Amino acid sequence: MQAISSPSEHSESIRKQCESGATTCGARQLKVCLRFFFWWFIFLVISEQGLVAQTNATHLKKLPSAGKITDNYLKAIGGKKHVAAIKDVNYDWIIELQNFSIGTAHTQRKPPSSERWEMTFGNGQIISATSGSSAWTIGLDGKMHTLIGPEGATTKLRASLDAAHLVINKKSNTLARVISVADLDSEPAYVVEFSTRGGARLQYYFSTKTGLLVKVTDEVNKTQTWFEDYRPERGVLQPHRIRLNVGGPGELTLVLQSVKYDTGIADKVFDPPGAAEGLDLASLLREVGKNQDEIEKRVTEYGFTQKETDREITGKGEIKKETVKVYEVFPIANREPVLKLISENGIALSGERAAKEDKRVQDEFLKAERDKDKNAQEVTRRRAEQQKKQKAAGEEEGEDPEISQFLKVCVFVSPRREQFAGRDAIVFDFRPRAVDRSY
């Protein structure tokens, strides 16, 4: 049985051989020395990396859930039950820049998702608001802008979280997950990412010691907000100092002056102002409907690329699996378009799979050509049935039934004119029409 020496014993043996003198330590011994120390170095590096990875994995496993963190926050500011009972809240602030007062601000919030800011300066006023249907702002130039896309979605998410003090309704489709522990200047904080399926994303930082919200990062709107000096206001802790960095020449500081709860703020406070002129939206939509057939015919003259993202979400709001597919879309008159899959998860189709997809698409085109007359006849038949029903219902002939139904069940809010992509546009919000349940 052969004895096996430890790495330290082997190292000591080689060291003694090398120290016996230059005349006795020849080329062979030198190679042995170098080889040993090379592999010993590799062993130490791998061991250290494994230890760091193991430590990080253990640390991440110890992070509390997003629900636990928000529950601790609600407990810290006064209790979930107490906070959820607040119907609305008004804040008044003084705005400072480099310790000099430059204006005032007034904030109104109403659960579940409404918020309005009015910031008044010597050179004008900035007004912004968010409701369940839209987000909008009026700048110092007095021009109205409705926020859409990622900017609008993120602004709506921020308003829904702040207006409800993070009392999140499970039906709101808001996802939350803990992504890390950040070392802020004063203390470590749990970083919770809130997101929606519409692409909105915000990072909220909660103190690991107090449970209070200390920072919010909005990468879309390029803002960072710090919350400091928490003090009770009618049993609820409120930050009396907010620092706001919007990427400008300096950091704004908002100093709280007063808080008022449950004053009965009307929902219309959060609606955008409508145009002074009267806009007949019903007539406009009917005119659009009459031209819809011509628009659909023009659509078939174009092709486009379509990206679909499918996410599987766990019960904790974390993404379990994400699949991204990109299609080439070919619209065809009087039937659904033909979609050709060209990539999946960033990898283009190739080989046998690409050949099968090409054959499937060619078969779809041949089928569309064979059924062209039959599809056109079917469309004509459905249109005739629609016109017959409209006549029986006393509706205008040729009116799009979908538009007709839309006008019946929805009410328009704040129709207005704005500029989008350099073009004049009519913008309006809409919400379900109130149903008379008195009978």
CATH number at residue 173: 2.50.20.10
- 417 within domain boundaries: yes
Per-residue pLDDT at 346? 93
Q: What is the pLDDT along the chain (439 residues), one digit of tens a residue?
A: 444 444 444 444 434 443 444 344 355 555 555 565 555 555 554 555 554 444 444 444 588 999 999 999 999 999 999 999 999 999 999 999 989 999 999 999 999 999 999 999 999 999 999 988 899 999 999 988 999 989 999 999 999 999 998 887 666 678 888 999 998 877 899 999 999 877 899 999 999 999 999 999 999 989 999 999 999 999 999 999 999 998 766 799 999 999 999 999 999 999 988 876 778 888 888 777 777 767 777 777 888 999 999 888 776 656 788 999 999 999 998 889 999 999 999 999 999 999 999 999 999 999 999 999 999 899 889 888 877 877 776 666 556 666 777 777 787 888 888 888 788 888 888 878 776 555 4
Q: How many CB atoms lie within 10 A of CB 166?
A: 23
- pLDDT in the model for residue 356: 95
- Domain, as residue range, for 383: 281-432
Tell me what pLDDT residue 132 has. Answer: 81
End position of a domain, from candidates 270, 304, 332: 270
User: Could you say which of 238, 270, 302 is where a domain stops?
Assistant: 270
The pLDDT value recorded for residue 85 is 93
Same domain membership, residue 265 and residue 126: yes
Residue 151 inside a domain? The answer is yes
Tally of domains within the chain: 2
pLDDT in the model for residue 194: 93
Name the β-bridge partners of 139. Answer: none
Does 331 lie in the same domain as 366? yes
Whether 168 and 132 share a structural domain: yes
Question: Residues 244, 251: contact at Cβ < 8 Å?
Answer: yes
In a domain, 43, yes or no: no
Residue 50 lies in a domain: no
Gap between the Cα atoms of 230 and 248, Å rounded: 26
pLDDT of residue 20: 43
CA distances to 7, 98, 353 from 101, in Å:
69, 8, 66
Residue 22 domain-assigned?
A: no
Residues 218 and 321 in one domain: no
For residue 14, tell me if it sits in a domain. Answer: no
* Tokens 């979280």, located at residue: 161
Evaluated on CA atoms 84, 85, 88, 93, the torsion sign reads negative
In a domain, 210, yes or no: yes
Reduced to 3 DSSP states, what percent helix, strand and coil does the chain have, rounded to the nearest 5?
Answer: 35, 35, 30
One domain for residues 182 and 300: no
Listed residues 251, 270, 289: the one ending a domain: 270
Q: Going along 280-401, which residue ranges are E strands?
A: 304-313, 319-330, 338-344, 347-348
Name, in order, each residue with C-beta under 8 angstroms of 344's C-beta and a sequence gap of 6 or more: 323, 324, 325, 326
Q: 232 and 347: one domain?
A: no
- Residue 37 included in any domain: no
